Structure 1
């Protein structure tokens, strides 16, 4: 880490800002994690079969919207990544139980 921040200044930053100050790639990697988790949650809970062009528009908007969520986590320390992980787990359990229920019904 470059000694461009004092210990007091580092303590005032959010955890992601501290990590990004140590290595700038962490900010980009965390953005990619937010994008991937957003796509997983969308597919588990809300995706419908769409034509290719509409699907491309939806995913492009997800990528743009993920930047807003990443910024909330980066600047304010909002637990966006944790919430997306929990949402993915809950929606995954729901889809699994729905699949199991439909299979038993047949």
Structure 2
């Protein structure tokens, strides 16, 4: 399983383990927010948008526990998710552009 945790190993090597939880919390939140925006976001009123991001913060806290304590490759998984969603959005945009 060590081969799939290249981001975890790199961050620990650069920063040590002092603030590792908060570093991964920030990384996970940013990556989750990007994945949400690429795949699931809709125009919502401000209150609902704030609520969605507060729930995303809570979910990211739980996800960060999996990353730091259980050493699961969540950051790497989020990067793959973002890549797939970005490819999907680009292809969808090109398809819509071609039909107009």
Above 0.5 in TM-score?
yes
Give the 5 Å matches for 1:26-105.
26-105=20-99
Relative contact order higher in (CA < 8 Å, ≥ 6 apart): 2
CA RMSD between the two structures: 2.2
CA distance in 2, matches of 1:62, 1:80: 15
CA distance in 2, matches of 1:24, 1:96: 39
Deviation at 1:22, TM superposition (A): 3.0
In the alignment, structure 2 segments of 5+ residues that lack a partner are: none
Structure showing greater radius of gyration is 1
TM score, norm. by length of structure 1: 0.78
Q: For residue 41 of structure 2, give the secondary structure of its aligned residue in structure 1.
A: coil
Aligned residue pairs: how many? 92
Deviation at 1:27, TM superposition (A): 2.5
Query: Deviation per CA, 1:71-94, whole angstroms, max 9, x where unpaired?
Result: 011111111100000000000000
